[in-house]
Amino acid sequence: MTVPVTAARLADMLRDSRDRTLELVAGLSPEQLLGPRLDIVNPLLWEIGHLAWFHEHFALRRLDGGDTLLPEADHLYNSALVPHDTRWDLPLPSLDRTLEYMRAVQDALVSRLDRPLASEEESFLYQLTTFHEDMHDEAFTYTRQTLGYPEPKFRGSRLPADAEAGAWPGDVEVPGGRFVLGSSPAAPFVFDNEKWAHPVTVGPFRIACAPVTNAEFAAFVAAGGYRHQKFWDEPGWRWRESVGAEHPIYWIGDDTGRWAVRRFDREEELRPHQPVIHVNWHEASAWCRWAGRRLPTEVEWEVAAAAEPTGDGGLGKRKRTYPWGEVAPTARHANLDAVALGCVDVAACAEGDSPWGCRQMIGNVWEWTQSTFEPYPGFSPDVYEEYSEPWFGTRNVLRGGAWATRSRMINNNYRNFFPPDRRDVLAGFRTVAL
């Protein structure tokens, strides 16, 4: 079970996550809160109600029993039972009534934390539901990008001093050996798809010090990479033809070959040394074929982020929680929590290097891996059964978190997963030498 957490910590997490949610919907009109009917977004008005229902269903009612605080909530907000395409047609409560429901659930959760130290079950369920809200808040952030809404305003956001630190080229050598992949029962919190730590064998590899930059990806575009089928596998080429892709989705070219990018509701200069972002697995794989590289496997990525070297240059038995060690992330280590409200250059966050010299393995952009999302040996679902199990074998693994990911939930073991055609997520990639 989960390591017990103080009641004060759990309450603070609940409030902080909810504050971020409210910041993400603040100032949006009723029309924007509903939004267009698209496969890759939800109506924001539905989604914030879903967050309250998730807290109530998986924490409050599971721990204390009782009925929902909003009579129609189970029929409106259970994502496992309410088809995506129908969510625009539901008789959704008004924004004011939805916010009242959200407050009522949160107040009930906070008020029941009446002991200094929560139980193991409480600690797990409160963190699970908070992290679920954190994930949706990241999705809200890139939904605003997808729909061209204004940039959100977050309390405490600021541009780090090293945001324009430049490029960080080159590879580092990582030896082969035995490695323990996944999370152990001693970890403070574990998602079901990280269970459990198990030994694997990895061969030696050379991995890039940093993610691929906009400048590096622009060279692929300029070389006609989107027009040459030889750089794409068959599913990737079918995807490219189906959408008519010629460059990353938000890039805007001109007659001089210069690139701008749409960022939320405005156009900006494309920053050459920031990591390329909003590219899907097909695009990342095509760039690799053009460059004579490949994506890392999930195992290679975790080894480069978490393993420590031995004195003779091999893989040690010790495994780090974060690339830099055990200290919780700060802005010096990683670009997280939407502090920068976007990407920073790939040379930034120098204190976050892994033992092998890889920079920004946590934060800035999610990194596609070569691996298909599959269960670890002995997998069993947790109480939120729909979190991982339905998606095994159909999605690709991403690692490391992005600029909008919350620092409280990300670490070297965290596994994200999306279909290979998704370009809306905050994803880039780093590569391995052939």
The DSSP string of 246-273 is SS-TTEEE-TTS-EEEEETTEEEEPPTT
Report the pLDDT value the prediction gives residue 254, as an integer from 0 to 100: 86
Report the pLDDT value the prediction gives residue 256, as an integer from 0 to 100: 82
Report the pLDDT value the prediction gives residue 49, as an integer from 0 to 100: 98
d(CA 225, CA 289): 10
Q: Give the count of alpha carbons within 13 A of 117, CB side only.
A: 5
Please name the residues in contact with 433: beta carbons below 8 A apart, sequence gap of 6 or more. Answer: 171, 205, 206, 207, 293
Q: Is 180 exposed, middle or buried (0-12, 13-18, 19+ CB in 10 A)?
A: middle
H-helix or E-strand spanning residue 379? none
DSSP class of residue 428?
E
A 10 A CB-CB count for 268 gives 13
Report the pLDDT value the prediction gives residue 1, as an integer from 0 to 100: 66
Enumerate the β-bridge partners of residue 262: 267
Please name the residues in contact with 37: beta carbons below 8 A apart, sequence gap of 6 or more. Answer: 85, 88
DSSP class of residue 432?
E
Domains belonging to the chain, first-starting first, are 7-146 (1.20.120.450), 157-434 (3.90.1580.10)
Residue 423 near residue 365, CB atoms below 8 Å: no
d(CA 79, CA 46): 10
Q: φ, ψ for residue 408 (rounded to 5)?
A: -70, -15
Please name the residues in contact with 9: beta carbons below 8 A apart, sequence gap of 6 or more. Answer: none
Query: Whose CA is closest to 422, among 97, 93, 38, 24?
Result: 38
Reported pTM: 0.98
H-helix or E-strand spanning residue 201? strand 198-202
Residue 209 near residue 168, CB atoms below 8 Å: yes
Contacts 24+ apart (CB under 8 A), 119-125: 119/4, 120/1, 120/2, 120/3, 120/4, 121/1, 121/2, 121/63, 122/10, 122/63, 123/2, 123/3, 123/4, 123/5, 123/10, 124/1, 124/2, 124/189, 125/58, 125/59, 125/62, 125/63, 125/383
DSSP class of residue 157?
-
Query: Whose CA is closest to 295, among 199, 375, 396?
Result: 396
Report the pLDDT value the prediction gives residue 2, as an integer from 0 to 100: 85
d(CA 307, CA 318): 7
Please name the residues in contact with 68: beta carbons below 8 A apart, sequence gap of 6 or more. Answer: 53, 56, 57, 61, 74
Report the pLDDT value the prediction gives residue 313, as an integer from 0 to 100: 77
d(CA 208, CA 169): 7
Q: φ, ψ for residue 284 (rounded to 5)?
A: -65, -45
* Count of residues in the chain: 434
**Helix, strand, or coil here: 207?**
strand
d(CA 234, CA 270): 30
Report the pLDDT value the prediction gives residue 311, as an integer from 0 to 100: 80
The series of mean pLDDT values per 10 residues for the chain, 434 residues long, is: 92 98 97 97 98 98 96 97 97 98 98 96 98 98 98 93 97 96 95 97 98 98 97 98 98 90 98 98 98 98 96 87 97 97 98 97 98 97 97 98 98 98 98 98
d(CA 259, CA 257): 7
Residue 407 near residue 336, CB atoms below 8 Å: yes
